[in-house]
Structure 1
Amino acid sequence: MADLLSTLLSRRDWLLADGATGTNLFNMGLEAGEAPELWNEAHPERISALYLGAIEAGSDIFLTNSFGGNAARLKLHGAQDRARELNRMAAEIGREAADKAGRPVVVAGSVGPTGEIMEPMGALTKASAVEMFHEQAEGLKEGGADVLWVETISAAEEFKAAAEAFALADMPWCGTMSFDTAGRTMMGLTAAELVKLIMKLPNPPVAFGANCGVGASDLIRTTLAFSAAGPERPLIAKGNAGIPKYVDGHIHYDGTPALMAEYALLARSAGATIIGGCCGTMPEHLRAMREALETREPGPRPALEEVVEALGGFSSASDGSGEDAPQRRARTGRRRR
């Protein structure tokens, strides 16, 4: 039997994913340095509200509150022995919310990076990484997740370890990397190199792409690079809602709902099938994105100049492949629409 995500992808030209987890939880009272995953037990009603916010805004997919739910990250909070349990809770709350939606909504089990550097540059072994990701995967599976979703990865070896772990859990999965260093991941991968990596995996994802990064413009440029490489799998675009700024003691993202609506349309025209937001993306952004995708026709593949005109300039002159890109503003001078 096909998984729910694959079924929806076979029926729809696009799917709307969710927005930010951290930004929304900070607005609910999460303190800096606090583990969001512990809220699955301490404040399940707030986690349910997080999920419902995305569902009610029109999301077809939402990610669970389990991004930092691996043993390495939880060890910082003395909760490394509770990884499987906390992931199960995250998915259970999500399963309940999705089942009440009145329409098919995919519960995607979020799996973030371990926070450690893998061998040979660091001390984390492949076996340890696979074990941690597998533990998370089993907890999310037990809680009722439809699909696993590894995100914000920068290293090829960590991405491959997650893929291996998800095969052990016998679960479909999606994967995104963060291209936040002059068009490359922190560990130096380009979009084209991720496509090559995907094509060689024995357990390839249902869909793949990019999340987070710098801003909406950069995310579209990365999506265009994916599309140009000719992948055979659906592409994911989950960009931040603008550029982060420190305002009155808080991080604020300057992307308006109108800007994110334009971003969603450009992401679709650039080749993305699953379109959502990352940091700073709130339900009001998602509603604008959904309306735009439903009411406006897709356009041709956008030129880089069109991306700049609609969303503002790029944070770097290159997408990582060596090709220059137009620059029309400093990062702090974004044009709003």
Structure 2
Amino acid sequence: MSNAFTDLLAEKGTLLADGATGTNLFNMGLMSGEPPEFWNTDEPAKIRTLYKGAVDAGSDLFLTNSFGANASRLKLHNAAKRAHELSRVAAEIGREIADTAGRKVIVAGSVGPTGEIMEPVGTLSHSVAVEMFHETADGLKAGGADIGWLETISAAEEYAAAAEGFALAGLPWVGTMSFDTAGRTMMGLTSEGMVDMVEGLDNAPLAYGANCGTGASDLLRTVLGFAGKGSTRPIVAKGNAGIPKYVDGHIHYDGTPELMAQYAVMARNCGASIIGGCCGTMPNHLSAMREALDTTSKGSAPELAEIVAALGDFSSASDGTDGEGPVRAPRKGRRRG
């Protein structure tokens, strides 16, 4: 099915996505514990600045400030009933920025996890999860988002519930998971397992992949795992700008623009065609990634040793697909953040 996202990907071959939301908003004054989504109505000028920063740096698509705009997360701030509104406004501001960019830019409606654990491990039922995702997706669609963009998911069950929610809203979507536990998601899914899961969905995403996690090296190892399955579905790589370090009371990421430029080129060589950054990725990183992708021809897939030499060591010896990683996260005391 043709839409703005698939059309632009077919035209360009590789799309540069955006960078961090939280890192950029914290730099604008967002306080720890404050819901970023409230800024859609309270500080719209800052959200315009966030989106425009990615566009001006050369991004072909950017994510809306709606990661936590679901009833479960917002109820922690007595705002569960604002999920649709805050999603809609996030997309409306995005539509404004995209439509005045002077070129085709995709507005991708960010949808994060509910923050709850689904049955049978946790208490969140499939039907309730579907309705929460439906509400958020419907708000994004009403605001003018071109696609939905599910991210930082750990459980296959939650990914499947989101797929149903997007289907109910009639919004095409892209979906990524976070592989941050010895090459697996927190709930035990491997890169190979994700491909099998995605291809088995009734409402499969337009593209799938990985975001956040640990460092850029780990994320590229995961992308190689996706590519090795042989699916023709486009792959997303959205890695953090280096490794987080706690300095003077704040989290800093050590990835330089030069490192992220190398990461972008290597991500494409690994098989990704939608490439961006996650935590710590600023407009200056995106500008370097844009230039690197535009001036470097696609090469062959790198060996693991080449990834380590360029981007640093892996956080674990195993990527989880060899049976050495954890099978499933502990059933108590864990919560997706």
CA drift at 1:124: 0.2
Counterpart in the other structure of 1:28: 28
CA RMSD of aligned residues (A): 1.1
Counterpart in the other structure of 1:333: none
Q: For 1:200 and 1:321, locate their aligned partners in 2 and report how far apart those are by CA, in whole Å.
A: 19
For the residue of structure 2 that corresponds to 1:272, the secondary structure is coil
Residue pairs, 1:103-182, within 5 angstroms = 103-182=103-182
Residues 225-257 of structure 1, C-alpha deviation per residue, up to 9 Å, x if partnerless?
Answer: 000011120000000000000111111000000
Gaps of at least 5 residues in structure 1 are 326-337
Residue pairs, 1:49-128, within 5 angstroms = 49-128=49-128
Q: For 2:10 and 2:56, locate their aligned partners in 1 and report how far apart those are by CA, in whole Å.
A: 23
Counterpart in the other structure of 2:2: 2
Residues 201-247 of structure 1, C-alpha deviation per residue, up to 9 Å, x if partnerless?
Answer: 11111100000000100010000000001112000000000000011
Q: For 2:19 and 2:272, locate their aligned partners in 1 and report how far apart those are by CA, in whole Å.
A: 16
For the residue of structure 1 that corresponds to 2:275, the secondary structure is strand
Q: For 1:231 and 1:247, locate their aligned partners in 2 and report how far apart those are by CA, in whole Å.
A: 41
Q: One-letter code of the match for 1:64?
A: T
CA drift at 1:299: 1.3
Q: One-letter code of the match for 1:60?
A: D
For the residue of structure 2 that corresponds to 1:2, the secondary structure is coil
Q: For 1:207 and 1:261, locate their aligned partners in 2 and report how far apart those are by CA, in whole Å.
A: 22
Q: For 2:223 and 2:4, locate their aligned partners in 1 and report how far apart those are by CA, in whole Å.
A: 24
Counterpart in the other structure of 2:279: 279
For the residue of structure 2 that corresponds to 1:218, the secondary structure is helix
For the residue of structure 2 that corresponds to 1:34, the secondary structure is coil
Residue pairs, 1:245-284, within 5 angstroms = 245-284=245-284
Q: For 2:11 and 2:305, locate their aligned partners in 1 and report how far apart those are by CA, in whole Å.
A: 32
Residue pairs, 1:231-242, within 5 angstroms = 231-242=231-242
Residues 157-189 of structure 1, C-alpha deviation per residue, up to 9 Å, x if partnerless?
Answer: 000000001011111100000000000000000
CA drift at 1:13: 1.7
Counterpart in the other structure of 2:334: none
Q: For 2:324 and 2:205, locate their aligned partners in 1 and report how far apart those are by CA, in whole Å.
A: 31
Counterpart in the other structure of 2:216: 216
Compared CA separation, residues 301 and 324, structure 1 to 2 (3 A):
farther
Q: For 1:172 and 1:138, locate their aligned partners in 2 and report how far apart those are by CA, in whole Å.
A: 11
CA drift at 1:48: 0.5
Q: For 2:232 and 2:300, locate their aligned partners in 1 and report how far apart those are by CA, in whole Å.
A: 19
Counterpart in the other structure of 1:328: none
Counterpart in the other structure of 2:291: 291
Counterpart in the other structure of 1:334: none
Residue pairs, 1:182-197, within 5 angstroms = 182-197=182-197
Is 1:319 the counterpart of 2:319 in the alignment?
yes
CA drift at 1:298: 1.3
CA drift at 1:323: 7.6
Q: One-letter code of the match for 1:267?
A: A
CA drift at 1:111: 0.2
**TM-score by structure 2 length?**
0.95
Q: For 1:310 and 1:299, locate their aligned partners in 2 and report how far apart those are by CA, in whole Å.
A: 15
Q: One-letter code of the match for 1:177?
A: M
Q: For 1:52 and 1:199, locate their aligned partners in 2 and report how far apart those are by CA, in whole Å.
A: 34
Gaps of at least 5 residues in structure 2 are 326-337
Q: Give the fraction of aligned pairs with identical amino acids, expressed as a percent.
A: 68
Compared CA separation, residues 120 and 324, structure 1 to 2 (3 A):
closer
Residues 23-48 of structure 1, C-alpha deviation per residue, up to 9 Å, x if partnerless?
Answer: 00000000000000000000000000
**TM-score by structure 1 length?**
0.95
Q: For 1:324 and 1:128, locate their aligned partners in 2 and report how far apart those are by CA, in whole Å.
A: 34
CA drift at 1:324: 8.3
For the residue of structure 1 that corresponds to 2:29, the secondary structure is coil
For the residue of structure 1 that corresponds to 2:102, the secondary structure is coil
Q: For 1:233 and 1:35, locate their aligned partners in 2 and report how far apart those are by CA, in whole Å.
A: 34
Q: For 1:203 and 1:322, locate their aligned partners in 2 and report how far apart those are by CA, in whole Å.
A: 29
Compared CA separation, residues 140 and 47, structure 1 to 2 (3 A):
same
Residues 101-124 of structure 1, C-alpha deviation per residue, up to 9 Å, x if partnerless?
Answer: 000000000000000000001110
Q: For 2:224 and 2:323, locate their aligned partners in 1 and report how far apart those are by CA, in whole Å.
A: 13
CA drift at 1:10: 1.2
Q: One-letter code of the match for 1:106?
A: I
Q: For 2:201 and 2:232, locate their aligned partners in 1 and report how far apart those are by CA, in whole Å.
A: 13
Paired positions, count: 325
In the TM superposition, structure 1's runs of 4+ consecutive aligned residues that sit over 3 Å from their partners are: none
